[in-house]
Amino acid sequence: MNLLQRVLQSKLLERTKRRLGKLTGLHIKLKRFTASASEPLRTAMLLEGAGVDLVIDIGANTGQFAESLYDFGYNGQVLSFEPVPEAHQEISTRSQAYPKWVIADRMAIGETDGEIEFHITDDTQFSSVLPIEDSFAAHNTKSSIVKKEMLPIHRLDTILSKFVPDWTSKTILLKIDTQGYEQQVLNGAQEVLAKAKGLKIEIPVYKIYQQAELDFYGTLALVQKEGFQPYSFHIEGVDLPTGRVNTMDGLFFRED
């Protein structure tokens, strides 16, 4: 088979996969398992290269992120914060297989120490201190608020030593996925942020939460001001009816 025949065959296969995907709703994709194909693998590799030995996982949900790191060879500590009761229970069970994975008590992380009202949604991944925008909730039924409750809230700078007494000697990745509340988390984590080698943060592309202080451009300006360089991006949330990207995750590191 000559080069032209191979190119034509490849294009025909790609078109066939697209047609099958549109017809069945199934995405069929076979690729070599490399850092270009797997965002979790890429993240674990970047953490190893940066020498990270403490991941602070704020907005951990059921522990998908931390568990993926351990699956791909990460051998350091993880401290996870998760305020939603069902998710907290699941992550507490999930973490038991990993001796270096610590789950903090149920609390929100922000810019104050005290109590705050927390909104719990049908799909717990949308739960936040901030209420959902009506325009988003109207066509995303899983984002509807099912209950509200008062929770303890703490600044990361205040609470971190309780769980990791020697955190100042660690090489830190600070991961923040707090559904529109990222700025407030950073306001209460200035000491940790100054020490962090890496920052993984949710970047809003479309506004989902009321009173969210950071938008797409504001997030990028913030990480640039703090001296971080971009290393990886991953599309996280997509509006299925329209195809518009709602959120993406950005991974940034300070370079020596």
167-203 per-position pLDDT tens digit: 999 999 999 999 899 999 999 999 999 999 999 999 9
> Model pTM?
0.86
**CATH 3.10.20.740 applies to domain 38-115+152-253:** no
Neighbouring CB atoms inside 10 A of 137's CB total 17
Q: Rounded to the nearest 5°, which phi and psi values hold at 160? A: -60, -40
Distance separating alpha carbons of residues 197 and 231, to the nearest angstrom: 12
Distance separating alpha carbons of residues 191 and 208, to the nearest angstrom: 29
Nearest CA among 138, 39, 136, 123 for reference residue 87: 123
H or E element, residue 243:
none
By residue count, the chain amounts to: 256
Distance separating alpha carbons of residues 102 and 62, to the nearest angstrom: 13
195-251 per-position pLDDT tens digit: 999 999 999 998 888 888 999 999 999 999 999 999 999 998 888 888 889 899 999
Distance separating alpha carbons of residues 195 and 177, to the nearest angstrom: 19
